[in-house]
Amino acid sequence: MSKRVLILATDGFEQSELIEPRKRLEQAGIETVVASPKRGQIKGWNHGDWGESVSVDAGLDEVSAEDFDGLLLPGGQMNPDALRLEERVIELIEDFDEADKPIAAICHGPWLLIEADVVDGKTVTGWPSIRTDLENAGGDVVDQEVAIDGNLITSRKPDDIPAFSKALVDALAD
Task: Confirm if 102 and 69 have CB atoms less than 8 A apart.
Answer: yes
Question: Which of 65, 89, 107, 114 is labelled catalytic?
Answer: 107
Contacts of 162 (CB under 8 A, 6+ apart): none
Q: Is 107 a catalytic residue?
A: yes
Candidates 108, 122, 131, 157; catalytic one: 108
Q: How far is CA 45 from CA 48, 76, 107, in A?
A: 7, 7, 13
- Residue 103 · residue 74 · CB < 8 Å: no
Judge contact between 21 and 13, C-beta under 8 A.
no
| DSSP secondary structure letters along 41-109 | EEEEEETTEEEEEEE--EEGGG--GGG-SEEEE---SHHHHHHTT-HHHHHHHHHHHHTT--EEEETTT
- Catalytic residue IDs: 107-108
